[in-house]
Amino acid sequence: MQKKEIINYLNALRLERWPRSFAIYIGTFSYFLFYPNSIEISVEFFLRLFLSFLFTWGISTANYIINEIADAPFDKHHPIKRTRPLAAGKVKASVLYIMFFGAVGFSLFFAYLYFGKIFTIYLFSLLIAGFLYNIPPVRFKDIPFIDFISESINNPIRFLIGWFAFSKTVFPPWLLLIWWWFFGMFLMIGKRISEKRFLGADQSGAYRPSLKNVSEKSLRIAMIFSGLLSFFLILLFGIQYKILTFTIFSFVLLGGLIWIFIIINGEKGELEEPEEILKNPFLSIIIFVMTFIFFISLYIEKVVK
């Protein structure tokens, strides 16, 4: 295999998306903020951090391989994604399947050996979610509204992976988990709105069937609904657990959600390339500030108090 072929196969793996696997550390950090006495700085502590990321990255890579194969017929309708390795005929699906089984086998086998059953179950759930989203006859990504509902479920799954990298049996608060799901859904719907504007009504439907008979207005309504639900969930969490700073944070979150909604649906929104929508500097700053306040709230209530 020549160097150019190797590069094409590496591009098909989409290894550059490795930072997304860092999302598991939100679950890990939340666990230690709820149970600060569980922290024991040692070699094993850092090894668990590294291996939980590595195995999640492996399963995510496997899902990207499946996406590369399943989406090849649709990518030809996208002005940018038509250049993806398989869609452009630069790689062979048979080789990608071998890489898929290698990534899955390595990740699940060693995850079970090191972390045990519970962690591996949630890691496997991330793989199954990718199957249901990408592979016919289910292929949730082609079903209106179910598309972004099912894709954003990866948020709570990654949260659970990070949480159970250290927790043995304790399950995280459901309200916190569901909030993280709807917050991710809010951002995902924003991406769908951007895709519809970027590609136009006809081409967006050909590229992503779930957008074919869905209007931009209905997507906006869904975005508002998921945003408001995200706000009320975190507000309810703060009230239920009597965490004043969490209650305050919910209103900071609401302000951030409104600003994100305005950015995506503004006059310049249609100029955003959909794959880059979450890289908007204003969105990045807002998300960073909200996340920072989120963890400071937990720290004040669970450690300082």
- Rounded to 5°, angle at Cα 285 from 284 and 290: 100
Residue with tokens 């869904």: 222
For 142-185, how does the pLDDT look when each residue is reduced to its tens digit (9 = 90+)? 999 999 999 999 999 999 999 999 998 899 999 889 999 999 99
Residue 283 has pLDDT above 80, yes or no: no
Q: Is the model more confident about 297 or about 170?
A: 170
pLDDT digits (tens, 9 = 90+) for 11-38: 888 888 888 888 898 899 888 878 878 8
pLDDT score of 305 more than 80: no
Q: Which two tokens stand for residue 238?
A: 């703060």
Read off the pLDDT of residues 51-102 as tens digits, 9 standing for 90 and up. Answer: 999 999 999 999 999 999 988 888 777 777 888 888 888 889 999 999 999 9
pTM over 0.75? The answer is yes
CA distances to 38, 79, 223, 280 from 200, in Å: 52, 12, 19, 21
For residues 101, 107, 109 and 113, what is the CA-based torsion angle, rounded to 10 degrees?
A: 180
Q: Is residue 183 a contact partner of residue 155, using CB atoms and an 8 Å limit?
A: yes
Other CB atoms within 10 A of residue 289 CB: 13
pLDDT at 271: 41
